[in-house]
Chains A and B, each alone.
Chain A
Amino acid sequence: MTPPFLAVDRARIAYGALVAVHDVSLSVARGETAGLVGESGSGKSSLGKALACLIELAGGTIRLEGTDLRTLAAADRLALRRRVQMMFQDPVSSLSPRLKVRSLLAEPIRVHGLPFVGSWRRIEALMARLGLAPDLLDKYPHQLSGGQARRVAIVRALILNPALVVCDEPTAGLDVSVQGELLNLMRDLQAEHALTYFIISHNLTVIRRVTDRVAVMYLGEIVESGPTDALFAAPAHPYTAALIAATPTIDPTRRRAQIVLPGEIPSPRDPPSGCRFHPRCLHAQARCRHEPPAPRTIGDGRTVACHFPLG
């Protein structure tokens, strides 16, 4: 059996005593668009950084095509970087304000010691493909619009011909009227460059529209995962159901029964006993307070970590 393209097994990420990601497992198939959704403090960005090998695991493994990222990084960190690229949340602040676009795009070529002429031709082709005019090369990041900065970040990520692109909040700060254009472009590039996407977002509408599979994180743990359409049509975890119902809609017929969760996400320094969601859960029972629910399969590729799943 061939190993999955990307396999995360009981990954743990800790910042000192604070455990941000608590023994999380998931897998992503090649060419798929996977989504990770959660609120602030859920640990989703930490997990994304670990996939791009930007932070180390305190436990567990992440395997890319069967090989541990740590092994790959120890052998040749630059080679690993070429296979996994990260697109950061804020494109303007992830581009150095002191460098012009020309230098920003040349930087990966220099760092990775790629042949300059061929690589620059590739950059020009990518810029044309993304609708970036050549005169942008002489601009600084602050002179770009939000959409242009994001496209420059995409060019920078794709120059190295990666297999996996981790996108942290790809539409943050973009107006809804231009989000579609960017997401369509990302989908086209995925087909043209055989990319696998791992999209991290708090925006449920974006996740629902662009991903094939999705995992929902809460306080460092995955509470539910499965094919996107099935999960959104019938959420099994009470937290997923509350997230979906919380999104405001203009259509009164589609407005679901209001679920207003009490309280706020607790500190990961002192997570609740038992199920981490139980203090806010509208269905919590005595068992939820002392026994952490193990993830279990509920058919058609779905898992849920809940003693009393919905539906």
Chain B
Amino acid sequence: MTLLVDVRDLSIEFATARGAVHALNRVSLEVAKGRIIGIVGESGSGKSTLALALSRLLPANARIAAGDIVFDGVALGTQPERVLAALRGARIATVFQDPMTALNPLFTIGTHLGDVIRRRRPALAAGEVRARAIAMLTRVGIPDAARRLRQHPHEFSGGMRQRILIAMALLAEPDLLVADEPTTALDVTIERQIVDLFRTLKNDFAGSIVFVSHSLGTVAELCDEVVVMYAGTVVEQGPVARVFGRPCHPYTQALIRCETEEPGTGRRLRSIPGEVPDLVTPPPGCPFAPRCAEATPTCRQAPPPWRPQADGGAAACVLA
């Protein structure tokens, strides 16, 4: 298996008025060519930071404190902005959560799509650019594509805008497609359509996909492998069937119980007591230890070991 992305021990800090926020803490991630990797986690887990770090698309107050992102053999951490700009939207395409702010309200959809096509293939004739745009809009499920090329973003529904972003990403013919919560803002029947679209894309898109979501179900239905994040760290990783079928980390186990367990007597619902730690002062040991029912004093003192599992993947826990 050839690695397209190799993130090694990546730590990212955000400078804030309260001090450095340790958004990612020694995170590793491997993406093989042609695979779909899901990143799941709750608010503040660092899943979006990790996804955006893949093309070093980080806000100005972010700093890579340790580690690196290796994309197809090139270490991105030290590359000048010019090299990164050439990668973004070409070899690495990103689909964002909010499609309205990712599209320019002043330009037609035809202009958006044409720009992407001409960037990839500058010599293409105007008629051919248009034909490719129409073909791609049709492929992502937008009917009457020739007419809709002349329309502006506000003339499309949220679900249709998300399809347009997916079309733009695919027209770039990228090696890596990063989708950051692409279905979170959508209604459930529209979310189902978009997940279904990604599922059909899987068959003829040759590149790799990193799909970020807070929904375990969406990742389970779509991805080959899953990375579970908590408080800026990867707590568990592995093939989807193994991680959801036999979760090893107490956090993954608790999260799955919250999502799937039916209410018992008196309709009590599951939750995980406590709150996510403040990442300005992350706990010295396992970040989940303060909320973990099985934590020992050792868990609170030293970072947990990374334990590979016989049936695939690994978990960061002494109990795994």
- As a 0/1 sequence over residues 235 to 271 of chain A, the CB contacts with chain B under 8 angstroms (1 = contact) are 0000000110111111110010011110011000000
- B266 contacts which chain A residues (CB < 8 A)? 187
Docked-complex contact B188 and A247, CB < 8 angstroms:
yes
Docked-complex contact A176 and B188, CB < 8 angstroms:
no
The yes or no answer to A178 lying at the interface (CB within 8 A) is yes
The yes or no answer to A300 lying at the interface (CB within 8 A) is no
Count of chain A residues near B, Cβ 8 A: 37
A176 contact from B192, B220, B259, Cβ within 8 A: B259
The yes or no answer to B263 lying at the interface (CB within 8 A) is yes
- B218 contacts which chain A residues (CB < 8 A)? 248
Count of chain B residues near A, Cβ 8 A: 40
The yes or no answer to B66 lying at the interface (CB within 8 A) is no
User: B194-253: which have CB < 8 Å to A?
Assistant: 195-196, 214-218, 220-221, 241, 244
Q: How far is the CA of A264 from the CA of B241 in the complex (A)?
A: 32
Docked-complex contact A202 and B196, CB < 8 angstroms:
no
Docked-complex contact B188 and A181, CB < 8 angstroms:
no
How far is the CB of B143 from the nearest CB of chain A, in Å?
A: 9
User: A148-207: which have CB < 8 Å to B?
Assistant: 175-181, 183-184, 187, 202, 204-205
The yes or no answer to A9 lying at the interface (CB within 8 A) is no
Q: How far is the CA of A247 from the CA of B195 in the complex (A)?
A: 11
The yes or no answer to A67 lying at the interface (CB within 8 A) is no
The yes or no answer to B81 lying at the interface (CB within 8 A) is no
Docked-complex contact A177 and B217, CB < 8 angstroms:
no
Q: Given the interface contacts A39-B187, A209-B269, A247-B217, does A176 sit within 8 Å of B258 by beta carbon?
A: yes
- A258 contacts which chain B residues (CB < 8 A)? 192, 196
- B192 contacts which chain A residues (CB < 8 A)? 245-246, 248, 258-261
The yes or no answer to B268 lying at the interface (CB within 8 A) is yes
> Closest residue to B226 on the A side, CB-wise?
A250
- A273 contacts which chain B residues (CB < 8 A)? none
The yes or no answer to B2 lying at the interface (CB within 8 A) is no
B221 contact from A205, A255, A264, Cβ within 8 A: A255
Docked-complex contact B271 and A260, CB < 8 angstroms:
no
- B42 contacts which chain A residues (CB < 8 A)? 175-177
Q: Given the interface contacts A177-B271, A180-B270, A180-B271, does A249 sit within 8 Å of B258 by beta carbon?
A: no
The 21 listed contacts between A and B (C-beta, < 8 Å) are: A39-B188, A176-B214, A177-B254, A177-B258, A178-B272, A180-B258, A180-B268, A184-B268, A184-B271, A187-B266, A187-B267, A209-B262, A210-B267, A243-B189, A246-B192, A248-B195, A248-B217, A251-B260, A260-B192, A260-B196, A264-B157
The chain B residues found within 8 Å of chain A, CB to CB, are: 42-43, 157, 159-160, 187-193, 195-196, 214-218, 220-221, 241, 244, 254-256, 258-260, 262-263, 266-273, 275
The chain A residues found within 8 Å of chain B, CB to CB, are: 39-40, 145-147, 175-181, 183-184, 187, 202, 204-205, 209-210, 242-243, 245-252, 255, 258-261, 264-265
Q: Closest 6 A-B residue pairs measured CB to CB?
A: A248-B217, A180-B271, A180-B269, A246-B192, A175-B42, A39-B187
Q: A209-B269, A210-B263, A248-B217 are in contact. List 6 more A-B contacts (CB 8 A).
A: A177-B42, A184-B269, A184-B271, A210-B269, A249-B260, A250-B260
